[in-house]
Amino acid sequence: MLNLLQNELDNHNNTIKAMHNLFPQIILCYEAISSCLSNNGKILICGNGGSAADSQHFAAELTGRYKRERKALAAIALSTDTSALTAIGNDYGYEYIFSRQTQALANQGDIFFGISTSGNSQNVILAMQKAKEMGCKIIALSGRDGGKMKEIADFNLIVPSQDTPRIQEMHIFIIHCLCEMIESTI
């Protein structure tokens, strides 16, 4: 068991070391988010499974606080309204659960933040496409090769790993870094 733990920690540390290459792109995403919020825009965030949890976590950090007392910031996790999710899934299909909400809630100048470890979640991709049609800036948070999301996004944060747990660990790291940067300039 010690070998298993050491292997997991080594894999985690190797992924962390490769994250430095993403710093310029993370800064660009922060600048886009900051500009959006400064212009009374909002951040729409979505993902499935663990990425849905990350979406909710990110929205909570923005609407509540990360570390500092500050004004509430406009952010919505599209995975939280079970009535909307189940009604849209039932009436239109699961692949439309985020795009229908995006159509209803997004405005030109908002940020759409899609999260998927593979970058290939169809419901996230359709929502990204809808958001782009509506004049939103698109940020994709993914792993592996970025999947289909990278073709749609204005900004790609692709964690340099093939391993889902390592990708998810770095997703929350990136989210926390964005929160720290946002709070440090408000």
Q: At a CB cut-off of 8 Å and minimum separation 6, what does 75 contact? A: 42, 43, 44, 45, 58, 59, 62, 63
Q: What is the pLDDT of residue 186?
A: 81
How many angstroms separate the CA atoms of 162 and 147, rounded?
A: 12
- Assess if CATH 3.40.50.10490 describes domain 2-185: yes
Q: What is the pLDDT of residue 146?
A: 98
Show contacts of 125-128: CB within 8 Å, 24+ apart.
Answer: 125/149, 125/152, 126/95, 126/96, 126/98, 126/99, 127/46, 127/78, 127/98, 127/99, 127/101, 127/102, 128/152, 128/153
Q: Which residues of the chain have pLDDT under 50?
A: none
**Digit-coded pLDDT (tens) for 140-181:** 999 999 999 999 999 999 999 999 999 999 999 999 999 999
Q: What is the pLDDT of residue 79?
A: 97
* Cα within 13 Å of Cα(175), Cβ side: 30
